[in-house]
């Protein structure tokens, strides 16, 4: 199984970024994005079910972030709008099977002027 994120980078406050995650090697149920800022615990950012019918967000990103998936291509996206400096973190994609949750290596997102 491989989980690979891409799309991170430096963006100014108020800007947008789209992260992508390619998962391969199994059939996955729900997929999620987490983030971890320096000195802070890892935080769930968004979750999407296998059909894409249900999405979950914490209050900290609700209304600004959107998770979506393309099952035909085994891709998951995280569209991030109205970014704030406190969104700066390493963002991780996870892909879950019935038995295990696989993690990507992470991609850095820095929000700064």
Tens-digit pLDDT profile for residues 2-23: 999 999 999 999 999 999 999 9
User: Average pLDDT in the 54-74 region?
Assistant: 94
pLDDT band at 77 (very low <50, low <70, confident <90, very high): very high
Three-state DSSP string of the chain: CEEEEECCEEECCCCCEEEEEEEECCCCCCEEEEEECCCCCCEEEEEECCCCCCEECCCCCCCCEEEEEECCCCEEEEEECCCCHHHCEEEEEEEECCCCEEECCCEEEEECC
Q: What is the pLDDT of residue 53?
A: 83
Q: What is the pLDDT of residue 69?
A: 92
């Amino acid at each position: 199984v491989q989980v690979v994120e891409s799309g991170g980078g430096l963006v100014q406050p108020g800007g947008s970024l789209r992260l992508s995650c390619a998962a391969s090697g199994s059939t996955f149920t729900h997929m999620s994005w987490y983030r971890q800022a320096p000195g802070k615990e890892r935080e769930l950012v968004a979750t999407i079910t296998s059909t894409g019918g249900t999405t979950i967000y914490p209050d900290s990103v609700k209304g600004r972030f959107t998770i979506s998936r393309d099952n035909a291509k085994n891709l998951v996206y995280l569209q991030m709008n109205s970014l704030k400096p406190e969104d700066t973190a390493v963002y991780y994609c996870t892909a879950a099977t019935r038995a295990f949750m696989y993690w990507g290596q992470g991609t850095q997102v820095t929000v700064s002027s």
